[in-house]
Amino acid sequence: MKPAKFEYHDPHSIEETLDLLKQYGWDAKILAGGQSLVPTLNFRLASPKVIIDINKVKDLDYVQETDGKLAIGAMTRQTTLELSEMVRSKCGLLSDATELIGHPQTRNRGTVGGSIVHADPTAELTAIALALDAEMVIVSTEGKRTDSADDFFISVMTTNLEPEEMLVEVRFPVLPSRTGWAFEEFALRHGDFAVVGVTTTITLDADEVCTDARLAAIGVDETAFRDSSVEEILKGEKITDLVLQEVGDKLSEKVDPFDDLHASAAQRKHLVGALAKRSLQKAKTMAVHNSKRKK
Amino acid sequence: MVVAPPKTKTAKKEAQETSKYVGQSVKRREDPRLLTGRGTFVDDIKMPNMHHAAILRSPRPHARIISIDPSKALAHPGVTTVLTGAEVGDKSLPFPVGVVAPFKYYSAAVDKVRYVGEPVAVVVASDRYVAEDALDLIEVEYDPLPPVVKPEDALDPDAAILHEELGNNIGCHRELDYGDVDGAFAEADLILKERFVFPRYSSLPLETYAVISDHDATTGVVTVRSNFMGPFSMHAVTARALNIDENKLRFIVPSDIGGSFGIKSSIYPYIVLISLAAIKAGRPVKWIEDRQEHLLASSCQTDRVAYREVAVKNDGTLTGIKSKVIENVGAYLRAPEPACTFRPIGNFVGPYKVQNVRIDAYDVMTNKCPTGPNRGYGCQQIYFEQERMMDHIAEELDLDPIEVRRRNLIPAEEIPYTTPMGGIYDSGNYQKGMDLVVEMSQYEKLRQKQEEARKENRLFGIGIATGIDPSVSNMGYITVALPPEVRAKPGYLPKSGSAESATIQMNQRGKVSVSMNTTPQGQGHETVVSQIVADELGIRPEDVVVIDEFDTAKHGWFISSGTYASRFASVGTSAAVLAARKLKKKIIRLASALLLVSEDDLVIEGGTVVSKSDSEKSITVKRVAGTAHWNLELLPDDIEAGLQARAVFRFPSNVAPDSQDRVNSSNTYGFMAEICVVEVDRDSGEVKIIDWFSVHDAGTVINPMLMEGQIYGGALHGIGGALYEELSYDDEGQMLAGNFMQYVCPTSVEAPKLNIGHICSPSPLTPLGSKGAGESSTETAPAAVASAVADALRPLGININELPLNPKKVWTLIHEPQPENN
């Protein structure tokens, strides 16, 4: 469990990093928090010729409000999502869901950008990004582009990032008032990769009728899974047990999950529906609570 | 939380009456050095000119090796040498093992690989990184053979054969018959039969295997520093494989081993392999097993299939057991296997009075990693099968599961009790233990809670398990693996015993140091020995230095030395007590000579030897010690100079198996009773432990804090096997659990809070009355969890006969009912 030999660079600026990426392309791999890359190197599942360690790059670790969005720098540690007051007040789902990502020790190192770019199909942040239509801010020596989460995630650990490109920021929407949220997840142990997880948000009007609902699931597809037909069931409805049942059933029907050592496809299909119901129930309760608070 | 049982004299209270430190939760003196990174582990040791080894392992479960070409690896900069399996075949002998089956096991695959992860070649290089780079450069050509994976498949006449010289895959087969089994079944009111599957899992010590081997070409001595922890009978096995005299194989074990739980007994094939590499390299070679190697190819316990049939009377009395056991010992039956089958032979019936037992035991070889001791060694499997049957009996006869067990417990007045297999239970009060766990758990209330939960359609279960915890193996038990006619042959050397020694010395100013042979793996032996010696000599623990490094060239040791099979609390401590008493006797004798007072009239009080009849006559221990070291003129001729004592403790009841295969397989026998409460989530299949009550009788408890730690660790180890852990293989023999994402081991977060209770039936066989406890709940926890989950799922008509009860399995049982067996 020793990595193969690699060339190591530790640039101090984004420009320097982009130059290195341009120079080495596919041969290079960016090291952010290292919580996935380092084990991958040690297992020799990957043996990149060049490691570009961006821990010394300034100006990638921040949380700020930009153009009405919550902008999070790619090197922001996951712990910051838990602790930042701004994250909590603008997009509390991120704060609440972060405790499901690994353990305090891994969150102290693991980064927001690293998790998004790694695109593990069970990563909580990928589901939240997809559900909330987060935007990815991507740079290269050629310039800057913005991509939607929907386009960004392609498959298992595959995004549309080109080898010379780098994710620098993720923008989440500020959650509207009268909104509740939840992330319900089943993992074999506390802090493990999710077997299945479902994140939801629900926005209610004054009569507790759902005006907006978002739902994304992990552990049931090659990327986080979202389907508008599932969300549509909720919109314009009062959130009753009957509606939740319908959503759960629809979601179970829509997904086409896989078998592995720890869960069967049938189990995942069943569980995603059950977790969707639990997640929506929680989100609704919170939305009702938040609506009352606003009055 | 420790619940002090009401109306029960606790071990602690009892100990306080007679001693000062034994029975106290004295803090671990090992902790400061371990917690500040100052321990001495094998990997901390650096030898001059030392190089590093990496092992090329087979990616195939079963294949003939056509060729190995190490030339590219040898040409790689930094590589010292490459040792291939063929060379291992030339330079070493097969490992001896105590069965009659004639197969050959070497430390690396010689011409055929038989499991994924089997060593094929060793690279020695200037550092481990280079050594691993070179592994990729060795070219091996394999000719694949069909694999055999599951225990029962190994017995299929059409199965591939692993060892051609054997003609089948049976490493050991014994039919053991005790009492009148046929009579019991003929007279039974009820006969029940079930099939059980028990998984293979391991212990995951924090420190993996570690070996440094150094060969002195002039003397021929091979010096091995490793975290081997005994039994030192494996030293003899290692010397034989290296084909050197035993006095030329020196084992050194540093003061710290980072956990073992049994599995480091099985490190010795790597000692041979790395020693052969060191001999070839002509320099010391270090090999540290990495975690991937550990999960793939370290030792683990067997997986097994068992059929159990019980004869029962209408009142719930168990009168007979027929057990067919197929233990999967992996690719090579490796010593001390087939001990998995025979270690618990004396306590096969647990705390129950059943007299008629038949065991048809197979140890089969398959294309899986070889097995060895793992905490609980053989007992968790037996108690899983036994306690599931108890629940079935209760269900069939409409009895409460507590009641059916109570009706079968051996009564206290019959103890010491000899089991039909020859085990001699030294002390105990099982009814009292059962009473306590029932009282602590408020069992009746739990049943009410269950009724309420079931009304709400919740899956709530209460599980019960009892067991006998055997400690200190009688080395003779393993020879039950041989048929009696083999053991009866002239020239056969019978085996028995379980001795241990301790050495104590007092320096010229009256301070004490003790040297032990117990290769501690984190248990706190230094702390415990300091408590014991302080009490014996009337001094403070902080005045006792305890050294527990081991060196076969310097210590007096036994083939049974080391710490395994819960030996220390019974035998290691007893050796320390005897050594301290011997020293004390010598102090008194010397004082008697100096004071001209008879020995009978002298006592040691507060550091002074004083005459009982004339308190004017006294001499400080310090002065006695000073005289013994500095002024030999005053010493009578028949007293040795200095103040050293070495004592050996051995149990009287250790005899070799008789012609009826009866053997007292262990020496002291503890008891545990568990009640476990669970709730099962229908949607995920997850089993949540709601509550746990655990009652123990380990005789005198020397350090309650250490024992509580052992109970927690043991229970969690058992819970791991019951709910989480499995070294899974696919049908093709590929290992599926080679990393910590796939091999799921519970951590402190998953550990339930245990409500622990004690009763104390001191062992009459040990000076302190103590027994082992480190394996206790490991043996009963899987049975307790299975019992609880079965109870939770009973409304759904689901039977539980297989572990682990992970979410996938439980979910499938609930949602996809299917015929049993796999």
ipTM computed for the complex: 0.96
Q: Is B492 left (phi over 0), alpha (psi -120 to 50) or beta?
A: beta
Selected residue with higher pLDDT from B510 and B3: B510
Do B689 and B754 form a contact (C-beta atoms < 8 A)? no
- Cβ–Cβ of A195/B746 closer than 8 Å? no
What is the Cα–Cα distance from B565 to B775, expressed in whole angstroms?
8
Q: Which residue has the tokens 């400690």?
A: B471
Which of B642-675 are b and which e, b meaning 16 or more Cβ less than 10 Å from the residue's Cβ?
A: bbbbbbebbbebbebbeeebbbbbbbbbbbbbbb
Cis peptide bond N-terminal to B416, omega within 30: yes
In Å, how far are B298, B299, B303 from B205, measured between CA atoms? Answer: 11, 11, 20
Residue of B nearest to A273 (CA): B683
Rounded CA separation A231/B52 (Å): 59
Cα–Cα distance, A135 to B134 (Å, whole number) = 45
Confidence of residue B652 (pLDDT cuts 50, 70, 90): confident
Cα separations in angstroms, B797 against B28, B72, B308, B506, B800? 49, 61, 21, 67, 10
Residue B19: predicted pLDDT: 64
Distances from the Cα of B130 to the Cα of B134, B212, B254, angstroms: 6, 18, 27
Round to whole Å and give the CA distance between B601 and B611.
5
User: Closest approach of chain B CAs to the CA of A262, in angstroms?
Assistant: 6
**Does the pLDDT value for residue A217 go beyond 90?**
yes
Share of chain B residues as helix, strand and coil, in percent rounded to the nearest 5: 30, 25, 45
Chain A within 8 Å of B688 (Cβ-Cβ)?
A: no
CA separation for the pair B392, B390 (Å, rounded): 5
Q: Token pair of A228, please?
A: 């508008």
pTM above 0.90, yes or no: yes
For the cut 60, the answer to whether the pLDDT of residue A207 exceeds it is: yes
The number of C-alpha atoms within 13 Å of B767 and in the hemisphere containing its C-beta is 20
Of A197, A212, A196, the C-alpha closest to A284 is A212
Per-residue pLDDT of B275-286, as tens digits, reads 999 999 999 999
DSSP code, position B133: H
CB B561 within 8 A of CB B517: yes
Rounded CA-CA distance B692/B563 in Å is 28
| B807-815 and A265-294 helices, crossing angle to 10° | 100
Q: For residue range B33-79, what is the model confidence (pLDDT) as tens digits?
A: 999 999 999 999 999 999 999 999 999 999 999 999 999 999 999 99
Asked if A188 lies within 8 A of B806 by C-beta distance, the reply is yes
Q: What is the mean pLDDT of residues A12-41?
A: 97
Is it the case that residue B535 has pLDDT exceeding 80?
Answer: yes
E-state strands within B668-817: 668-680, 687-697, 755-758
Does A186 sit within 8 Å of B744, measured CB to CB?
A: no
* Residues A81, A94 contacting (CB under 8 angstroms): yes
Identify whether the C-beta of residue A155 lies closer than 8 Å to the C-beta of residue A223. yes
Distance from the Cα of A268 to chain B's closest Cα (Å) equals 8
Sign of CA dihedral B123, B129, B132, B133: negative
Triad B289, B292, B298: Cα angle to 5°: 60
**Distance to chain A for B749, nearest Cα, Å:** 7
Q: With contacts defined as CB-CB under 8 Å, which chain A residues touch B132?
A: 2, 4, 44
pLDDT attached to residue A294: 55
Q: Which of B292, B728, B807 sits opposite A188 (nearest CB)?
A: B807
Rounded Cα distance, A178 and A164, in Å: 42
Tell me what pLDDT residue B565 has.
93
Separation CA B300–CA B201 (nearest Å)? 6
**pLDDT above 70 as % of chain B:** 97
Checking A114-118 for CB contacts under 8 A at 24+ apart, the result is A114/A32, A114/A33, A114/A34, A114/A35, A114/A36, A114/A37, A114/A74, A115/A78, A116/A74, A116/A152, A116/A159, A116/A167, A116/A170, A117/A30, A117/A32, A117/A74, A117/A159, A117/A161, A117/A167, A118/A36, A118/A37, A118/A157
**Where does B260-419 have alpha helices with state H?**
268-281, 291-297, 339-342, 379-397, 401-406
Could you identify the residue written with the tokens 């990638």? A60
CB atoms within 10 A of CB A71: 18
Give B322-377 pLDDT, tens digit per residue: 999 999 999 999 999 999 999 999 999 999 999 999 999 999 999 999 999 999 99
Reported confidence tier of residue A291, pLDDT bands at 50, 70, 90: confident
Nearest CB to B815 within list A3, A4, A270 = A270
CB nearest to A189's CB, from B683, B742, B746: B746
pLDDT tens, residue by residue, B592-621: 999 999 999 999 988 899 999 999 999 999
Mean pLDDT for B555-563 is: 93
The CA distance from B732 to B131, in Å, is 30
Strand ranges, E, within chain A: 7-9, 28-31, 50-53, 63-66, 69-73, 135-140, 143-148, 153-155, 158-159, 166-173, 179-187, 194-204, 210-218
DSSP reduced 3-state for B309: strand
Rounded to whole angstroms, what are the CA distances from A152 to A21, A158, A165, A166, B818? 19, 9, 13, 12, 42
User: How would you write A109-163 as a 3-class SS string?
Assistant: HCEHHHHHHHCCCCCHHHHHHHHCCCEEEEEECCEEEEEEHHHHEEECCEECCCC
| Residue B303: its H or E element | strand B303-312
Within 180-199 of A, beta carbons closer than 8 Å to B belong to 186, 188-193, 195
How much is the pLDDT for B171?
Answer: 97
Average pLDDT over residues A261-273: 97
A41 contacts chain B (CB < 8 A): no
CA distance A276 to B681: 15
pLDDT of residue A262: 96
* Inter-chain residue contact A43 with B128, CB threshold 8 Å: no
User: With the C-alpha atoms ordered B139, B145, B150, B151, is the resulting torsion angle positive or negative?
Assistant: negative
Among B128, B746, B811, select the one facing A2 at the smallest CB separation.
B128
Contact (Cβ atoms closer than 8 angstroms) between residue B58 and residue B134:
no
* CB of A47 less than 8 A from some CB of B: no
* B179 touching chain A per CB within 8 A: no
**What pLDDT band is residue B696 in, cutting at 50, 70 and 90?**
very high
Note the pLDDT of residue B654.
86
Q: Report d(CA B180, CA B183) in Å as an integer.
A: 5
Q: What is the CA radius of gyration of chain A?
A: 19
